[in-house]
A and B are shown apart, each in its own frame.
Chain A
Amino acid sequence: MNEPTIYELSSHGRRGVRFPEPEVPLSPLPEQFVREDLPLPELSEQDVVRHYTHLSQMNYSVDGGFYPLGSCTMKYNPKVNEEAARLPGFAFTHPLQPIETVQGNLALMYQLQEWLKEISGFDAISLQPAAGAQGEFTGVLIMRAYHRSRGDLKRNKILIPDSAHGTNPASSAMSGMQVISVPSDKRGNVDLEALQAACDDTLVGLMLTNPNTLGLFDEHLVEVIEIVHKAGGLVYGDGANLNALLGVTQPGKNGFDVMHFNLHKTFSTPHGGGGPGSGPVGVTAHLADFLPGPIVDIIEEGDSEMPPLYGFVMPAKTIGRVKAFHGHFGMHIRAFTYIAMHGAEGLRSVAEHAVLNANYLLARLRGTYTVPYDRICKHEFVVEGRWEDAPDVRALDIAKRLMDYNFHPPTNYFPLIVHEALMIEPTETENKQTIDAFADAMIKIAEEARRDPQLLKEAPHSAPVGRVDEVRAARDLVLCCRLPEEA
């Protein structure tokens, strides 16, 4: 089922959306700057709409089915969020308008900052970071700036558990830090002895994902944080897995110094086929001055007659801007809507049911799949996609076979500390029938793996395309459409 490219569909001289003719006297463009050829396609509006409709039909999506992609929190994206973000009063505001003309936007951002503070227990928030990875990078720069502001220049080492997302070490390296990996213990916690041994006076801090990527809450959380703090280091929380903690515990009150949120995971803003995300950062009071800005604050207090005047302020020792303007405002609106519709009880219920669904699914798969770290999990868990009596079958084959049952596969081959890992996160918005159907499919696939392994090796059988040749893609790089005249 191939769809031609937009260039292959192009027909010379065809027109799409038209614009009016100029109504002003014309000025010539200096000859030396004029572009001769503009190699863009030529299609009618219907050609374009049909083409992208066809493409959309080749996608799996949350709206289409169960998407238990571990660590990605593929929960339902409420449709009202989309309405809210497109309200003309928001969508048609320019980022550099005078603040008096955008008090609605600023009030929303201020309120969202306040709500995120309350939910997380942190003292200050910047909404600017564009995504989780940028939130991490921001967090590491803040930790670095904090030590440097105290004249403590020798600190250049960041500790990262071996179960962490790859963005953690990459963000640290981009900040000029040396990365030291800390092993996990037998129960999936940070290995306390190894942590202690790695802590010295060159420590910037620890980047801790809690619950970690095994879906486990660290049983020594208090001790871990204490060890790092004793060595003068800071503790960074990777908020990727915050969905399990809403209303359950506040990282900012547990000893974490800084944390990023993923509005696109925890607070239901859509993943968009890979972005835009939104990665606000929260910090405790001693790091507030280092936040990227500007952030929203009250410039003039209000009274019974007048609402307060909101404006932008730059934190005193800011690490600077991490992007232009004020962050992904469209995502802030969606997250705001989501929080407003949940309240405190609703958010706690989100975490409880995310954890309920994960443990229920784990219970249904236990016995069929090996669970390397088997205890009550939080919002996700990891199983091994391999069996001794089906030696040829790998996690990848199970993942591909799931597509034939019309499920999106779990995250595979991550975390790296589990062989043939399948990392499964059902989220709270899935009902019991869907989870049961997924469990049934997983169990059936385990049988197929023994009976007819080839069925798995050749899967998917019902997707728009079969397995793709990744080696060829990387070897014979084709990164652009061939233009008809080049063919």
Chain B
Amino acid sequence: MFIPHTDAEREEMLRTIGVKSLEDLFQDVPASLRFPKIDLPPALSEMEAIADLEDLSQGNETTRSLACFLGAGAYNHYIPAAVDTILRRGEFYTAYTPYQPEISQGTLQAIFEYQSLMAKLTGMDVCNASHYDGATAAAEAVVMAYHNFHGRRLKVILSPAVHPQFRAVIRTYTQGYENLTILGDSAGADPYQSPDALLPFIDDQTAIVFVQYPDFFGRIFDYSKLVEAAHGVGAMVAVVANPTALGLLKPPGEFGADVVVAEGQPLGIPLSFGGPYLGIFATRKEYVHRISGRLVGETVDTQGRRAYVLTLTAREQHIRRERATSNICTNQGLMALASTVYLSVVGKHGLRQVANLCYQNAHYAARRIAEIPGYTLCSDAPFFHEFAVCCPKPVEDINTHLLDHGILGGYDLSRDYPSLKNQMLIAVTEMNTREEIDALCEVLEEVSRE
């Protein structure tokens, strides 16, 4: 417990206030509702609590105890020790949103650097101070597009190869926009269709077109034709990107994206069962007044020294209330810091190395798996570090078998795409050794023979 009061201090404080007891401070709570019985286990000391937590944590298998080939939006990457060293500084993690710039320059400059690194990585002009995760960043992009056209363009075109949970969150966020229509990813759409299949949906009612790069199935496409078509009718284009892949691949800014959103977890953030992660949101200069969330800008102090401050706050909820660009209040500060330290400490060369290791390991794995009788790659498109495999048996059965051999198998695509039966999405990163990949292939072969 963390209450420092001694009995004597408590008495003295109550006397100063002019009441007799702590209970007297709650007379405004209706008596019938006051001090109910709450049924919780007895309080634990710190050493008992951490022992209990340790026990609970051991009820899990982990990506350390298993060879992990699971991705689908969250990836097992190496996190350099320097990242958590900085994150554990109390000056960072026990501070709040930098409302008082004079005593928050550390957080402000770190966010400013985050904005810079992400703008460069995505090839865009500006990046905000972050969102909760990639999926909510994607939803905010749709909301931004809606307002950009003053609610007069009412079509959102979603590729079926955008992460299913991202598409779900976009639908949740826009359910209050009753006249908005989301097209392109209906149940009948072929998940593996080429991006050109979206062309017929695009017209002068289209607000924004959403694609993923590499897509949910790991594939890399050239989106320039789609971008040209969207821009031709004045629509915006948003690209969901994988930030690791951008160490090797042309950034979306180069092929005309208006918004780039990304799940920032691969950049130094632990898997941690799905969160907290990081929503990266970058866009072009012309949309800067429409961005949701916080922005840090450079300025000077009274003595002309360089300083940083939250800027363009007139867009935000605490000033604009119901006319704000979004309801978002905080950003994902500490996670943004993690990705900033990660990109700084691996640097230009290190990120290329990580991306290349992912690419090489994944291609080796894909080649080996395709050689096993009964297994084929579901697509022949170029891919980055993830690929779909058409398997001879239900994925769930194969994964049970893999687990018996200490392997965390890939994602069962039929969970989101009923038509993709027996298809497994396999992710390979720099963390997978050649030995692990060979072991995966061995067990896959064994399963197919049973």
Chain A residues within an 8 Å CB radius of B326: 170, 174
Chain A residues within an 8 Å CB radius of B439: none
A463 touches B102 (CB 8 A): yes
Question: Are A470 and B309 CB-contacts (below 8 A) given A56-B89, A174-B143, A273-B95?
Answer: yes
Interface residues of A in 306-342 (CB under 8 A from B): 319-331, 333, 336-337, 339-342
Q: How far is it, in angstroms, between the C-alpha of A61 and the C-alpha of B25 when the chains are bound?
A: 29
Q: Determine if A487 is an interface residue (Cβ-Cβ < 8 Å).
A: no
Q: Determine if B275 is an interface residue (Cβ-Cβ < 8 Å).
A: yes
Q: How far is it, in angstroms, between the C-alpha of A131 and the C-alpha of B133 when the chains are bound?
A: 11
Q: How far is it, in angstroms, between the C-alpha of A271 and the C-alpha of B91 when the chains are bound?
A: 11
B36 touches A250 (CB 8 A): yes
Interface residues of B in 66-106 (CB under 8 A from A): 66, 68, 70, 72-74, 76, 78, 80, 82, 84-86, 88-106
A26 touches B360 (CB 8 A): yes
Question: Are A467 and B301 CB-contacts (below 8 A) given A49-B85, A53-B89?
Answer: yes
A282 to B: closest C-beta gap in Å: 14
Q: Determine if B363 is an interface residue (Cβ-Cβ < 8 Å).
A: yes
A321 touches B119 (CB 8 A): no
Chain A residues within an 8 Å CB radius of B270: 86, 91-92, 330
Q: Determine if A300 is an interface residue (Cβ-Cβ < 8 Å).
A: no
Chain B residues within an 8 Å CB radius of A42: 347-349
Interface locus among A195-203, A357-365, A446-454: A357-365
Taking a contact as CB atoms closer than 8 A, the residue among A48, A166, A248, A399 that contacts B318 in the complex is A166
Q: Determine if A403 is an interface residue (Cβ-Cβ < 8 Å).
A: yes
Q: Determine if A438 is an interface residue (Cβ-Cβ < 8 Å).
A: no
Nearest chain-B residue to A144 (Cβ)?
A: B176
B1 to A: closest C-beta gap in Å: 5
B106 touches A329 (CB 8 A): no
Q: How far is it, in angstroms, between the C-alpha of A431 and the C-alpha of B58 when the chains are bound?
A: 37
B101 touches A468 (CB 8 A): yes
Q: How far is it, in angstroms, between the C-alpha of A171 and the C-alpha of B61 when the chains are bound?
A: 38
A473 touches B299 (CB 8 A): yes
Interface locus among B185-193, B201-209, B242-250: B242-250
Interface size of A by Cβ–Cβ distance < 8 Å?
203
Taking a contact as CB atoms closer than 8 A, the residue among B10, B14, B73, B347 that contacts A16 in the complex is B347
Nearest chain-A residue to B22 (Cβ)?
A: A352
B347 touches A468 (CB 8 A): no
The interface bits of chain B over 355-368 (1 if a CB of A lies within 8 angstroms of the residue's CB, else 0) are: 01101110110010
Q: Determine if A472 is an interface residue (Cβ-Cβ < 8 Å).
A: yes
Most buried by B among A62, A131, A470: A131
Q: How far is it, in angstroms, between the C-alpha of A149 and the C-alpha of B268 when the chains are bound?
A: 43
B43 to A: closest C-beta gap in Å: 4
Q: How far is it, in angstroms, between the C-alpha of A218 and the C-alpha of B81 when the chains are bound?
A: 49
B267 to A: closest C-beta gap in Å: 11
B16 touches A364 (CB 8 A): yes
Main secondary structure of the interface of A (DSSP, over half): loop
Interface residues of A in 249-306 (CB under 8 A from B): 249-250, 253-254, 268, 270-278, 292
Q: Determine if A51 is an interface residue (Cβ-Cβ < 8 Å).
A: yes
Chain A residues within an 8 Å CB radius of B318: 165-167, 414
Interface residues of A in 24-62 (CB under 8 A from B): 24-27, 29-30, 32-35, 38-43, 45, 48-49, 51-62
B39 touches A323 (CB 8 A): no
Interface locus among B163-171, B369-377, B386-394: B163-171
Q: Determine if B328 is an interface residue (Cβ-Cβ < 8 Å).
A: yes
Chain A residues within an 8 Å CB radius of B345: 16-17, 43, 45, 48-49
A24 touches B437 (CB 8 A): yes
Chain B residues within an 8 Å CB radius of A466: 102, 301-303, 305
A77 touches B334 (CB 8 A): no
Q: Determine if B117 is an interface residue (Cβ-Cβ < 8 Å).
A: yes
A93 touches B272 (CB 8 A): yes
B105 touches A58 (CB 8 A): yes
Q: Determine if A356 is an interface residue (Cβ-Cβ < 8 Å).
A: yes
Q: How far is it, in angstroms, between the C-alpha of A339 and the C-alpha of B84 when the chains are bound?
A: 25
A250 to B: closest C-beta gap in Å: 6
Chain B residues within an 8 Å CB radius of A122: none
User: Known pairs A6-B340, A49-B86. 5 more at Cβ < 8 A?
Assistant: A105-B273, A249-B35, A359-B25, A376-B27, A473-B298
User: Which 5 A-B residue pairings sit nearest by Cβ, starting from the closest?
Assistant: A89-B57, A176-B176, A325-B274, A104-B59, A95-B274
Question: What are 5 A-B contacts defined by CB distance under 8 Å?
Answer: A18-B350, A29-B382, A64-B94, A352-B25, A473-B298
